[in-house]
Amino acid sequence: MRPLITTIRRLVAAGGWLAGFLLLATTALISTEIVLRMFGSSTQVAEEYSGYFLAAMIYIGAAYTLQKGEHIRVEILRERLGERAGLWLERFVLIVGLIFASLLVYAFFKQFNASLTRGSRSFMPSRTPLAIPHAAILLGAGLLWLEFFAMTLEAWFLPPKESKAA
């Protein structure tokens, strides 16, 4: 089980690096647009693509943020419970998170599939196939599902001292 969890963690970490790259790409794109506008020109795609990059960055980076424990958590209830009850609460919360991530993957897959089969394109000058940004968001939701899955496996099947969730 540990090799599976390690593989998932590496995939999620790669997603974190991809989200960081998207942040740099967005910064470069917007900076380029600013400079070009000073000279009376434009990329014609900066607004559109920076929006796509932002959405992809948020969803792809969400799993990495969860992995690092940086999502907002209210620990007051867990702190007041004993160690055993706290572990059960953690397990319950992880299962709820896994269910939520499953619904997210399902919804984004439907969106991706619809844009792919219909050949939907952006109404902006680039006419970007919408399946591309939808695929990036689906990737992020899939990574989030994988991280919840890895955390759930740890909480249920690894001894508490070895588990990060406990």
Average pLDDT taken over every residue of the chain:
91
Query: pLDDT confidence of 48, banded at 50, 70, 90?
Result: very high
Whole-number Å distance between alpha carbons of 9 and 2: 10
**Cα–Cα separations (whole angstroms), residue 77 to 43, 72, 74:** 51, 14, 7
Query: pLDDT confidence of 164, banded at 50, 70, 90?
Result: low
Q: Which residue has the tokens 């508490």?
A: 160
Q: Which residue has the tokens 């006419």?
A: 127
**Which pLDDT belongs to residue 125?**
87
Whether residue 78 is predicted with pLDDT greater than 90 in this model: the reply is no
Q: Give the torsion sign (CA, 140, 146, 152, 154).
A: negative
- Tell me how many helices (H) and strands (E) the chain has: 5, 0
- The tokens for 147 are 């991280």
**Which pLDDT belongs to residue 165?**
47
Q: What pTM value is reported for the model?
A: 0.87
**Which pLDDT belongs to residue 166?**
39
Query: pLDDT confidence of 74, banded at 50, 70, 90?
Result: low
Q: Which residue has the higher pLDDT, 127 or 75?
A: 127
Q: What is the pLDDT of residues 104-143, one digit of tens each?
A: 999 999 999 999 999 999 999 899 999 999 999 999 999 9
| Cβ–Cβ < 8 Å for 63, 151 | no
Map residue 83 onto helix, strand or coil: helix
Q: Which residue has the higher pLDDT, 160 or 162?
A: 160
**Cα–Cα separations (whole angstroms), residue 90 to 66, 93, 94, 107, 140:** 14, 5, 6, 26, 23
